[in-house]
């Protein structure tokens, strides 16, 4: 590869004066894995030059540039809707195609990036707490400090937004609380026994304010709708039970995730630490004990145990969408919950499109859609809070 030619193409791209033929040539170079070393050498020379005006870019900026320049070439590869590139602390390394460091201008050279008149911000920390007496507290608006007292339990909100239950006195009243996240909300709560629960968007957790703490060997039972990650405080004399629509999960003290959204075809329970017993509902009960790294997939009472992809399961808690080898429509359900939008599919959209890679949950909806649309596998039309997907 001629470095002078590559440098010329880079400068033309940055100036916005690159011709169609030169852009095609640059795309061809970018997608040639045999030229990675040459790209790396040139990138380092530009970076280390005394008069270089190149500034480090974020991973999101790098990802956007990669998608814009390689969109056409991606059509010829297996269907992957986006990829995430890593950025080193002081030198941006080449990842797979040797490009994004060289093209340090998010919109240079490309005039046809779609613009969406309607946009949606990413979800936020927020939830609604419903007390046993029916009183509702919007936690996103509530200031920190004490919120209420129920069943001998003091309920407070911390400065970081976390909801805390603390036992102030033993109370035999079985008073249920409900913690509900809307679409586009997520929240964290510490129950009165010390168990930590993270609620994903569009989820509900129902539980006794006291969780039977200090009442001897009784079960600690909660009910979940939607998705949540649990870090259960160990108590060998008081099993912790999570009830969902189609099963119960019993633990003594462990870390696990449950996805029980009504619009998902499978109810999944994924174990990270310890052990859990999954028992299906109905007359033909089935009980399965999971080991760390395993996932129970429950389809209408029929349970299959598989090896879990923990990155994919825990992406929402880490602030990402992990979509490698994920069905596209499954991915869009995740996106719809987080941005509180409705997704409608044209008949031209296949059910077997497979997504790939990572994308941050902190981006605006328009950025998510632009990243996907850049591959030209699917296209979007936005009408208010409705996304129409077509081929």
d(CA 149, CA 151): 7
d(CA 368, CA 310): 23
* Structure confidence at residue 175 (pLDDT): 82
Which pLDDT tens digit goes with each residue over 187-246? 999 998 899 999 999 999 999 988 865 555 578 999 999 999 999 999 888 899 999 988
Could you say which DSSP state residue 223 is in? E
* Residues 195-232 as b or e (16 or more Cβ within 10 Å = b): bebbbbbbbbbbbbbbbbbeeeeeebbbbbbbbbbbbb
Asked whether the predicted pLDDT for residue 4 surpasses 70, the reply is: no
Lowest-confidence pick of 57-71, 95-109, 169-183, 317-331: 95-109
Which pLDDT tens digit goes with each residue over 13-22? 665 667 767 7
pLDDT band at 52 (very low <50, low <70, confident <90, very high): very low
Which pLDDT tens digit goes with each residue over 120-152? 899 999 999 999 889 999 988 777 788 887 767
Note whether 172 and 201 are within 8 A (CB): no
pLDDT band at 101 (very low <50, low <70, confident <90, very high): very low
* Structure confidence at residue 53 (pLDDT): 47
Average pLDDT estimate for 367-387: 85
pTM (whole model) above 0.75: no
Which pLDDT tens digit goes with each residue over 68-82? 544 433 433 434 444
* Structure confidence at residue 238 (pLDDT): 87
Asked whether the predicted pLDDT for residue 380 surpasses 70, the reply is: yes
* Structure confidence at residue 141 (pLDDT): 75
Q: How far is CA 67 from CA 63, 72, 106, 349, in A?
A: 6, 9, 10, 21
Q: What's the mean per-residue pLDDT of the chain?
A: 77
Could you say which DSSP state residue 327 is in? B
Lowest-confidence pick of 26-35, 177-186, 249-258, 371-380: 26-35
Average pLDDT estimate for 305-315: 94
- When comparing pLDDT for 72 and 255, which is higher? 255
Q: What percent of the chain has pLDDT over 90?
A: 40
* Structure confidence at residue 259 (pLDDT): 97
Which pLDDT tens digit goes with each residue over 352-368? 888 767 788 999 998 88
């Amino acid at each position: 590869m001629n470095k002078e030619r590559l440098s010329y193409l880079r400068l033309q791209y940055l100036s916005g004066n690159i011709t169609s033929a030169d852009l095609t040539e640059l795309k061809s170079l970018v997608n040639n894995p045999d030229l990675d070393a040459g790209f790396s050498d040139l990138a380092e020379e530009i970076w280390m030059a005394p008069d270089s005006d190149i500034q480090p870019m974020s991973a999101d900026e790098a990802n956007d540039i990669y998608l814009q320049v390689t969109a056409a070439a991606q059509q010829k590869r297996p269907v992957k809707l986006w990829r995430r590139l890593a950025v080193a602390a002081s030198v941006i390394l080449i990842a797979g195609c040797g490009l994004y460091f060289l093209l340090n201008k998010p919109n240079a050279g490309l005039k046809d990036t779609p613009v969406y008149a309607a946009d949606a911000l990413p979800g936020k920390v927020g939830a609604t707490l419903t007390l046993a007496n029916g009183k509702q507290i919007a936690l996103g608006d509530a200031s920190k400090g004490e919120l209420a007292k129920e069943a001998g339990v003091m309920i407070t909100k911390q400065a970081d937004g976390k909801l805390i239950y603390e036992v102030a006195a033993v109370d035999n009243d079985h008073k249920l609380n409900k913690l509900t996240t809307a679409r586009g909300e997520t929240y964290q709560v510490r129950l009165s026994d010390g168990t930590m629960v993270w609620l994903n968007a569009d989820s509900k957790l129902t539980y006794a304010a006291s969780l039977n703490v200090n009442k001897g060997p009784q079960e600690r039972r909660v009910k979940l709708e939607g998705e949540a990650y649990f870090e259960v405080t160990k108590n060998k004399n008081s099993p912790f039970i999570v009830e969902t629509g189609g099963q119960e999960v019993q633990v003594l003290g462990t870390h696990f995730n449950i996805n029980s959204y009504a619009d998902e075809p499978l109810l999944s329970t994924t174990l990270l630490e310890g052990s859990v017993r999954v028992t299906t509902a109905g007359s033909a009960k089935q009980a399965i004990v999971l080991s760390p790294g395993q996932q129970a997939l429950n389809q209408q009472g029929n349970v299959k145990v598989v090896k879990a992809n923990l990155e994919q399961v825990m992406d929402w808690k880490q602030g990402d969408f992990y979509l490698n080898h994920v069905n596209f429509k499954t991915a869009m359900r995740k996106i719809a919950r987080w941005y509180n939008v409705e997704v409608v599919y044209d008949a031209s959209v296949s059910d077997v499109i497979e997504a790939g890679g990572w994308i941050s949950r902190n981006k605006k909806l328009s950025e998510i859609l632009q990243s996907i649309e850049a591959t030209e596998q699917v296209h979007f039309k936005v009408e208010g809070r409705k996304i129409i997907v077509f081929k």
